[in-house]
A = this chain, B = another copy of it.
Amino acid sequence: MNFLEEKIATDGRVYEGNVLKIDNFLNHQIDIDVMRQIACEFKRRFKGVQVDKVLTIEASGIAIAVMLANMYDVPVVFAKKGAAVTNTDDKYISQAYSFTHKKMNNVFVSRPYLTKGEKILIVDDFLADGKAFGALIDIVNQAGGEVVGLGVAVEKGQQNGGRDLREAGYRLESIAIIDEMDDKTNTIKFREQR
């Protein structure tokens, strides 16, 4: 097991309905050692890839994006969520369904912060059905940028987001991929990665 799989196995809690709770170290309280190591791991896996900017979506993606951008020495852009997008002249907008809040969210980035030809690495904490990544990719495409990679801390492999993104030809790096969870025994089975 790698560091993140170990941390999930030790500190994660599995609940009914395929819910994994790791907000004690990833997305409410943040273990800074884990966060540093996530950034180092992405840097290693994307070795040789040119990155002009790191893109994520508020809120919990920001921690990973900032730690990673600090290593690349490039800017972060975080997409904002909200229904309240009235003026679209100055924004790239896409949509993503939020399972947490059970509604469609607008996802948007102000136009000046993504430009044509930029090489964009997109990161987030969780990947399940891939709707948030889909919206971010859509926004990069609208801006004429190039998605050079997708990095996620935890992929829920039982849902199809990761598979779909890989089949679409994106380079997706997931530090931990969960293939099975059992809330009765609080056990988690990770996918073997080379």
A31 lies within 8 A of B75 (CB): yes
B73 lies within 8 A of A32 (CB): yes
Compute how far the CA of A33 lies from the CA of B60 in the bound complex, rounded to whole angstroms.
21
What is the interface of chain A mostly: helix, strand, loop, or mixed? mixed
Compute how far the CA of A109 lies from the CA of B112 in the bound complex, rounded to whole angstroms.
34
CB closest chain-B residue, reference A30: B76
A85 an interface residue at 8 Å Cβ cutoff? no
A78 lies within 8 A of B110 (CB): no
B113 lies within 8 A of A24 (CB): yes
Compute how far the CA of A59 lies from the CA of B65 in the bound complex, rounded to whole angstroms.
13
A103 → B minimal CB distance (Å): 11
**Using Cβ atoms and an 8 Å threshold, which residues of chain B touch A59?**
58-59, 62, 78, 80
CB closest chain-B residue, reference A62: B62
A154 an interface residue at 8 Å Cβ cutoff? no
A168 an interface residue at 8 Å Cβ cutoff? no
- Chain A to chain B contacts (Cβ below 8 Å), 20 pairs: A23-B110, A24-B113, A28-B78, A28-B109, A28-B113, A29-B76, A30-B66, A30-B77, A32-B69, A33-B73, A35-B66, A36-B70, A59-B59, A59-B62, A59-B80, A62-B66, A63-B66, A66-B67, A67-B70, A84-B101
Chain A interface (Cβ < 8 Å from any Cβ of B): 23-24, 28-33, 35-36, 58-60, 62-63, 66-67, 69-70, 73-78, 80, 84, 101, 109-110, 112-113
Told that A29-B112, A30-B66, A62-B63 touch, could you supply 19 new A-B pairs with CB distance under 8 A? A23-B110, A24-B113, A29-B75, A29-B110, A30-B77, A30-B78, A32-B69, A32-B75, A33-B73, A35-B70, A58-B58, A58-B59, A58-B60, A59-B80, A62-B62, A62-B66, A63-B76, A67-B70, A84-B101
